[in-house]
Amino acid sequence: MTSAFRTTRRTKELLRREIPGTAGVLADPHDFAAMRRYRTFPFQDHTRYLRHLEDHLRTRTAQGMRTSLALFDPAAYAEYCAELGIDPDSIDSRARYTGELAATGATLPYAGEPLPQLLPLLVEETGRQAVWDTAATRLAEAGTCQECGADLSHTAFALATQALKELLDGLGDGTHHLVCSIPAGPPPLLAALRVTSEEGRHSLAESPSLTFCTVLAAGIAHRTPGGIVSRSTRPEPRPEATTPHDTVRGWTLRDGWPEPLTAAQVFTAYCTDAETGDPIPPEPHVDHTEGFPLTRPPETHHC
């Protein structure tokens, strides 16, 4: 039996113990390096670890076994073990933590895709889940209206849903990328949403739209400042244009409702470095246009 064969077989055995049904993936080399301090963590090289992991996942898939992927965070894992009083230098502890991720964290199903293709999506989904968790907590803290007793979180979410619908209806046909930003401590809450609209029908994913509305609702409920930026690509370029033009619009949260920015305000916001305040050259083929008014429901004046 060759040394390479023994190494491969042992790696597969270790991976079977590490992956009870959900694989906690160390997507980042720094996270991988942090796990190497544990004696029971058997892997030495991040690239080889990902290659062996992908081989093992494909084998499970070929055998009809379902596997989901979750992002493994060494710092959160250490805190988890400290809270429960369990040994972090243990395969069983890692499997237990991964099981918690499967129940409460962001996961993606694995269906044979190359890991380099899937990992960016997993990182994005994990970030989206974290934003939703924070926004949902912030929204729940809104409580009830002292004047009418209404549940402010419920009211604010309904208003956010209505605002999003009006935005999409007003933007019309095309591909739209919307970003909602609400200050909630460093860093601010950011939710991005990609929508394709055609003849009044809007195609959008459920999870990103839920996160977008939750972040917007948190800003509405607490009357915080914030804003929405949309970037739209027309389905066809203008006749005189050789390339499609993008249109950027903006709104600011004022008294719990998105109010349109002027074209000059949109240009300034979009062409200014958020960290340094320095101007950024405008992109070619991008029109900076004023936002359009959204119908303010009567509830925003009372609650």
Note the pLDDT tens digit of each residue in 215-229. 999 999 999 999 999
Cα dist. 143→149, 192, 220, 297 in Å?
Answer: 9, 26, 13, 20
Q: What is the pLDDT confidence band of residue 63, given thresholds at 50, 70 and 90?
A: confident
Highest-confidence range of 23-32, 54-63, 101-110, by mean pLDDT?
23-32
d(CA 121, CA 47): 19
Percentage of the chain surpassing pLDDT 90? 56
Based on the number of CB atoms within 10 Å of its own CB, is 264 exposed (0-12), middle (13-18) or buried (19 or more)?
Answer: exposed
pLDDT of amino acid 139: 92
Q: What is the pLDDT confidence band of residue 239, given thresholds at 50, 70 and 90?
A: low
SS3 call for 248: strand
Q: Are 209 and 202 in contact (CB under 8 A)?
A: no
pLDDT of amino acid 213: 96
Residue bearing the bigger pLDDT, 299 or 40: 40
Q: Are 46 and 27 in contact (CB under 8 A)?
A: no
pLDDT of amino acid 285: 82
Percentage of the chain surpassing pLDDT 70? 86
Residue bearing the bigger pLDDT, 250 or 17: 250
Q: What is the pLDDT confidence band of residue 184, given thresholds at 50, 70 and 90?
A: confident
Q: What is the pLDDT confidence band of residue 7, given thresholds at 50, 70 and 90?
A: very low
Q: Are 211 and 150 in contact (CB under 8 A)?
A: no
The alpha helices in the chain, defined as continuous H runs, are 3-18, 29-35, 46-62, 74-84, 91-104, 115-140, 152-171, 206-222, 263-270, 299-302
Q: What is the pLDDT confidence band of residue 234, given thresholds at 50, 70 and 90?
A: confident
Q: What is the pLDDT confidence band of residue 1, given thresholds at 50, 70 and 90?
A: very low
pLDDT of amino acid 228: 95
Average pLDDT of the chain? 85
Q: Are 105 and 132 in contact (CB under 8 A)?
A: no
d(CA 256, CA 72): 37
Is the pLDDT at 3 greater than 60? The verdict is no
Q: Report which of 120, 119, 278, 134 is spatially closest to residue 217, judged by C-alpha positions.
A: 134
Amino acid identity, position 145? C
pLDDT digits (tens, 9 = 90+) for 186-209: 778 999 999 999 888 899 888 899
Vertex 98: Cα angle to 25 and 38 (nearest 5): 70
**In the chain, domain spans:** 3-104, 152-302
**pLDDT, average across residues 281-300:** 84
pLDDT of amino acid 2: 44
Q: Are 73 and 122 in contact (CB under 8 A)?
A: no
Is the pLDDT at 240 greater than 70? The verdict is no
The pTM of the full predicted model, rounded to 2 decimals, is: 0.78
